[in-house]
Amino acid sequence: MSCCRMFGNATRYYMEDRFMSVFCETSRRWLTRREASEYLTLSPSQFDNLVRAGRIQIARVGRRILVDRLWLDDRLAAGGL
């Protein structure tokens, strides 16, 4: 049995599990700062810079920063941030 064949299914199942966990996490409407930066594939500091520049809208609930995922999707579809 080849090495690729031996690890092929395990790798595929890992990737499917990872995809599903990311999909389930991002299927919620409101994302935390960390989740939103991961969703946009940005570092947290890059995300903060876009918030400070007014290019990303946030909502504050106490000390928590929340971002509307639907708003992000609309902005990305319209041509980016």
CATH number at residue 70: 1.10.10
Which tokens go with 14? 């890992």
Per-residue pLDDT, averaged over 15-38, amounts to 71
Domain total for the chain?
1
Q: What domain range is 71 assigned to?
A: 3-77
**Which residues lie closer than 8 Å to 28 by C-beta, 6 or more apart?**
69
Residue among 63, 65, 58 nearest 33 (CA): 65
pTM of the predicted model as reported, rounded to 2 decimal places: 0.62
CA distance 5 to 73: 38
DSSP class of residue 78 equals: T
pLDDT tens figures, 31-79: 999 999 999 999 999 999 999 999 999 999 999 989 999 999 988 888 8
